[in-house]
Amino acid sequence: MTSAWTWYVVALTALNLLGCLWLLRGNIKRSPGDPKPDETGHVWDEDITEYNKPLPKWWINLFYITLVFAVAYLVWYGVGTMKGYGHWSSRSEWATDKAAEDARLDDTLKLYAGKPIDQLAKDPAAVSIGRAIFNNNCAACHGSTGHGAIGFPDLTDDIWHWGGTPNRILETIQEGRHAVMPAWATTLTAQGGPTAVDDTIAYVLSLSMPDQPKDAVARGEKLFAGICSACHGPQGKGNQVMGAPDLTDSYWLYGSSKASLHKTLSEGRQGVMPAWKPVLGDTRTRLVGAYVWTLSPHKDAPPAGAVVAE
């Protein structure tokens, strides 16, 4: 809050207190000519009379005490950026409460400190805590069930672009990932003519869906070998060290439609997984990894031809 807003609040508060005081004093005094407390002249049904009696003194004094309390409260706690004599602030109160909760949480989490995620995955209590942390931090992108969305990986299958071993999963969660797919349309067109992008798409699709035009596939294979194989491998099996996906399976992070693939080749892709260790710390990221580990099956061996990271 700026000093201008602070003075605005101070002035508004002072006016309200003075207004309450004025209203109170103005209503406890009797003006000249007012009828006596038992002589208002308002009578109904012959024996029901309205009187004009003042409030009891103890009641009036309670109002005065309330006003004094309000002033003392402001002096002690302060207003806006003006510190009170009690040196209280909502930030310090929050910090104190947070420190107490963090200490309590540390007592719970110290049981799981430093353990591998596949070992933690065997502990139902650890998995339950990991699920709660996942829902609070990861579900916004990967979904509450971990099934992902367009541009956000599905965590329930056995496909891992950056490696699916416990160490690689933990590294992904803690350090984050930044996948870069350059825009290749201009380069492809320069080498293969106006149909180069469509030809490359035809070849890539043929790796998992063989029913593609043979002529386009043949032309696209040459373009792929000259440009795309550096990251995705000569057989399109991918490279987990670079995060380059396997193009021979049925999983497509951004969709398998020709429109989506055209966009990928024309504009490129920038997939970013934030680093969560600075936010959650080592133990909580391990618990998230344990929960993620339980979501998917695990292959006995990587596909032949893939570059596997460990």
Domain at 259, CATH number: 1.10.760.10
Distance of CA 258 to the CA centre of its chain: 32
Does residue 140 lie within any of the structural domains? yes
d(CA 167, CA 50) in angstroms, rounded, equals 85
Place of tokens 């080498």: 191
**Torsion-angle region of 246 (φ positive above 0: left; ψ -120 to 50: alpha; else: beta):** beta
Q: Domain of 131?
A: 106-176+275-310
- Which pLDDT value is given to residue 35? 66
pLDDT above 60: residue 205: yes
- For residues 263 and 250, the answer to whether their CB atoms sit within 8 Å is no
**Do residue 134 and residue 253 come from a single domain?**
no
pLDDT for the residue numbered 173? 97
What mean pLDDT do residues 220-246 have? 93
Per-residue pLDDT tens digits for 110-153: 999 999 999 999 999 999 999 999 999 999 999 999 999 999 99
User: What average pLDDT does the structure give for the chain?
Assistant: 89
- Comparing CA positions, the residue from 167, 216, 213 lying closest to residue 196 is 216
Q: Are residues 35 and 167 in the same domain?
A: no
Which phi and psi (to 5°) does residue 271 adopt?
A: -90, 125
Specify whether 268 is located in the same domain as 191: yes
Q: Indicate the residue among 88, 121, 154 that finishes a domain.
A: 88
Structural contact between residues 265 and 201, judged by C-beta atoms closer than 8 angstroms: yes
Task: Say if residue 237's pLDDT is above 90.
Answer: yes
Q: Do 39 and 159 belong to one domain?
A: no
Of residues 137, 131, 258, the one with CA closest to residue 206: 258
What the block records as the tokens of 205 is: 């699709």
Is 144 domain-assigned? Answer: yes
CA pair distance 136, 130, nearest whole angstrom: 10
Give domain status of residue 101, yes or no: no
How does DSSP classify residue 235?
T
Total number of domains in the chain: 3
